[in-house]
Amino acid sequence: MPLLILELDIINHYMNTNQGHLEKSLARLYRKKLAIISILLLILIYLISIFIEWISPYGYDTQDLTMIRSSPSFQHWLGTDNAGRDILTRVFWGVQNSLIITLISIISGSIFIGVTLGLISGYYGKWADALIQRSGEIFASFPDIFLIILLVATIRPRVVNWIVYIEDRTFFEGLLRSGIADYLIISFALVAFSWYGMSRFVRGQVLTLQKSEFIESAKAIGCSNRRILFLHVLPNVMSTIIVTTTMSMGVFVGTEIILGFLGLGVQPPRPSLGVMLSETGNLSVIRNYPWMLIGPGLISSLLLLCWNILGDSLNDVFNPRTK
């Protein structure tokens, strides 16, 4: 019991220190107007995409053959595409697909795998550190985008066949049409190359914290390694995790758009920002039907810009040297 009380005193002392740093960081973030505008825009775009099925009077595959390539109007605010489908509706369905893929990749790859391996690598060192870091360096030694493209193109037929097999032999219907195969394929490819960056950053922070007084105190009173990692070390690397995750979101959104543009992303009939951009990728369409490019182009640019601005801002405000 005395050891537990002593450990709680140690945790409370450093939690209070971190809370003060957090309050100062949030105050600095509030003063960054571009960051606040970026947060509000991201919240607005993602909320609309989540509820687009109930907001829009059109489905993402609803066709009106009498209004093919119709210019923007009160009926279709961003016009219609080559099949008479509402572009605005499809843009936000594309954002929803991008959100699902990036969240799956971030949570499973960067946060779960990357943070866990980073903690283990930095804290235990020796053979565990060597094994994790050398494995990550193998992935990092190749151009990410090319290997992601290769991985997506290679595993797609197998995953699609697996989904079809499940549909044919169970009561689950519409799995392939729901886009779950595309979510699994693209998320797996992104996870395979996203964990190392996070683990390297976390490892660096852990190596710095290992010599701190509160870690030495926790070891001295007999805390287990697992307890030290998750109760003492992890809370002190949260700022690094938040900054790295935020900056990775922009990279993942951009990668998903590129895969869609190359025809390797979310497949029709599910909308994809990359596919919508590729459909407008010739001069005659841009010249005669520019509204087909404005919607997906503007939203894609806004997402990338907002995530990059937010990532840079968080990097500034969580920097302990920033006053």
The residue-averaged pLDDT of 43-69 equals 90
Q: What's the angle, vertex CA 194, arms to CA 191 and CA 42, rounded to 5?
A: 90
Position 56, amino acid: S
> 3-class DSSP state for residue 56?
coil
The CATH topology of domain 2-317 is MetI-like fold (1.10.3720)
pLDDT at 321: 54
Instruction: Find tokens 């002190």 and name the residue.
Output: 236
* Least confident range of 24-28, 107-111, 272-276: 24-28
Neighbouring C-beta atoms of residue 250, cutoff 10 Å: 20
pLDDT at 6: 46
Give CA–CA dist 231/147, Å, rounded.
37
Give CA–CA dist 102/183, Å, rounded.
9
**What string of DSSP letters covers 74-126?**
SSSTT-B-TTS-BHHHHHHHHHHHHHHHHHHHIIIIIIIIIHHHHHHHHHH-H
The residue-averaged pLDDT of 53-59 equals 91
Give CA–CA dist 232/243, Å, rounded.
19
Strand partners, 86: 80
Residue-wise pLDDT tens digits, 65-121: 888 888 888 888 988 888 889 999 999 999 998 898 888 888 887 788 888 888 888
pLDDT at 21: 55
What is the sign, positive or negative, of the torsion defined by CA atoms of 237, 240, 243, 245?
A: negative
pLDDT at 7: 47
First-to-final CA distance of the chain = 40
Residue-wise pLDDT tens digits, 168-221: 777 777 777 777 878 888 888 888 777 888 888 888 888 887 777 777 777 777
Give CA–CA dist 93/40, Å, rounded.
19
Q: What's the angle, vertex CA 100, arms to CA 271 and CA 291, rounded to 5?
A: 30
Q: Give counts: helices (H), strands (E), the chain.
A: 14, 0
pTM for this predicted structure:
0.83
